[in-house]
C-alpha cells in the first residue's frame, strides 16, 4: 500500500551537529500533486527537500519515496534542482551536454545515448525554450538561462519525483511564467512535484497543496485555506522582517 504514495515522511528530524533543522515532520504526497513548501529563511525548507532526495540522512524518522528509502531507489527516480547551483561555470560543457547528464544515471557502462535518450534531451530543451542556446557554453548564459538549463536536465531525466528548490528566485517574470506552465503540465501528466518558494502571492496558481514549515510543519492544506489561516500570517511577518529576498 505504501508504494502507491510518491512521498511519505514520518517523524522526520534532521540535525546538523547540534542545530535542529527539522523536527517531527510528517506528511505524504500522492502522485500528480504539486506540493509547495513555504517558510522563512532557515526554516528547513531546503533541508526537507534534501532529505527527500537522500542527500542528508534523517537523524530520526523515515523518508520513503515510492515506498523505498531514497538511496535504494532505481537510478533516475528523483530529479532535483538545487537552489544555488554550486558548479564551476568554466567546466567544458554546453547547455545540451548538461541537459544530457539527466540521462546518465540510467545508462550502463559503455552504453551510448539511445534514440529515446536523445529525444528526451531534445524535448527537455524545447520545453524550457533553450533550442537557440543549446550549443552555448554554460558560462555564456544569464542567470535565468542557467536555471532553465538545470530544470531541463531534471526533466530530461524523466524522473518519478521532481524536487525544485526555489526555482523562481532571481529569475525574470517570463521565465517564472514558463516554469509555472511547465510544472502544471507535468503535474497534470501525473508527476509529483515538491517545490520550495518565497512567493506566497502566486501559491494558489502553482500548488495543489501548501505546507508551512518552520522546523516543524505549522500548516498543511489547500493553498487558499493555508494562506487564510494564522500560520501564514505569522510566517509572512517573519519573512518580511528577516529579508524576503536573498
Q: What residues make contact with other proteins under the rule CB under 8 A?
A: 53-55, 73-82, 85-94, 97-98, 101-102, 104-105, 107, 109-110, 137, 139, 150, 153, 157, 159, 163
**For residue 98, what are the CA distances in angstroms to 101, 130, 222, 225?**
5, 12, 35, 39
Bridge partners (DSSP) of residue 233 are: none
Q: Choose between 46 and 239: whose C-beta lies nearer to other proteins.
A: 46
Neighbouring CB atoms inside 10 A of 75's CB total 11
Minimum distance of other proteins from residue 194's CB (angstroms): 12
Yes or no: say if 199 and 40 are a contact pair by the CB < 8 Å rule: no
The cell numbers describing 54, all together, are: 537522500
Minimum distance of other proteins from residue 187's CB (angstroms): 20
Q: Name the DSSP letter for residue 105.
A: G
Minimum distance of other proteins from residue 77's CB (angstroms): 6
Residue 36 CA to residue 45 CA, distance in Å, equals 10
Minimum distance of other proteins from residue 214's CB (angstroms): 24
Place of cell 533516475: 76
Residue 3 CB partners (closer than 8 Å, separation 6+): 66, 67
Q: Name the DSSP letter for residue 73.
A: S
Minimum distance of other proteins from residue 18's CB (angstroms): 15
Q: Choose between 91 and 243: whose C-beta lies nearer to other proteins.
A: 91
Query: What DSSP string describes 82-129?
Result: -SS----TTSS-BHHHHHHGGGGGG--TTPPP-HHHHHHHHHHHHHTT
Minimum distance of other proteins from residue 176's CB (angstroms): 21
Q: Choose between 125 and 203: whose C-beta lies nearer to other proteins.
A: 125
Q: Choose between 86 and 189: whose C-beta lies nearer to other proteins.
A: 86
Determine the 3-state secondary structure of 93 from DSSP.
coil
Rounded (5°) CA angle 7-167-102: 70
Q: Choose between 13 and 101: whose C-beta lies nearer to other proteins.
A: 101
Q: Choose between 105 and 170: whose C-beta lies nearer to other proteins.
A: 105
Minimum distance of other proteins from residue 92's CB (angstroms): 5
Q: Choose between 34 and 73: whose C-beta lies nearer to other proteins.
A: 73
Amino acid at each position: 500500500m505504501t508504494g502507491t504514495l510518491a512521498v511519505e515522511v514520518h517523524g522526520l528530524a534532521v540535525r546538523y551537529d547540534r542545530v535542529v533543522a527539522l523536527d517531527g515532520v510528517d506528511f505524504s504526497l500522492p502522485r500528480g500533486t504539486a506540493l509547495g513548501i513555504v517558510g522563512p529563511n532557515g526554516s528547513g525548507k531546503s533541508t526537507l527537500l534534501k532529505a527527500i532526495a537522500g542527500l542528508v540522512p534523517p537523524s530520526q524518522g523515515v523518508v520513503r519515496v515510492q515506498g523505498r528509502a531514497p538511496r535504494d531507489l532505481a537510478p533516475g527516480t528523483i530529479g532535483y534542482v538545487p537552489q544555488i547551483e554550486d558548479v564551476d561555470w568554466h567546466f567544458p560543457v554546453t547547455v545540451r551536454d548538461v541537459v544530457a547528464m539527466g540521462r546518465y544515471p540510467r545508462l550502463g557502462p559503455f552504453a551510448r545515448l539511445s534514440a529515446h535518450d536523445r529525444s528526451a534531451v531534445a524535448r527537455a530543451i524545447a520545453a524550457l525554450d533553450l533550442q537557440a542556446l543549446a550549443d552555448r557554453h554554460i558560462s555564456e548564459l544569464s542567470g535565468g538561462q542557467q536555471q532553465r538549463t538545470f530544470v531541463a536536465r531534471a526533466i530530461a531525466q524523466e524522473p518519478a519525483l521532481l524536487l525544485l528548490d526555489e526555482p523562481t528566485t532571481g529569475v525574470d517574470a517570463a521565465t517564472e511564467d514558463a516554469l509555472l506552465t511547465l510544472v502544471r503540465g507535468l503535474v497534470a501528466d501525473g508527476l509529483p512535484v515538491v517545490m520550495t518558494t518565497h512567493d506566497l502571492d502566486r501559491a494558489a496558481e502553482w500548488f495543489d497543496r501548501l505546507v508551512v514549515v518552520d522546523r516543524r510543519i505549522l500548516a498543511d492544506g489547500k493553498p487558499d485555506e493555508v494562506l487564510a489561516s494564522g500560520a501564514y500570517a505569522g510566517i509572512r511577518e517573519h519573512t518580511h522582517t528577516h529579508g524576503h529576498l536573498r
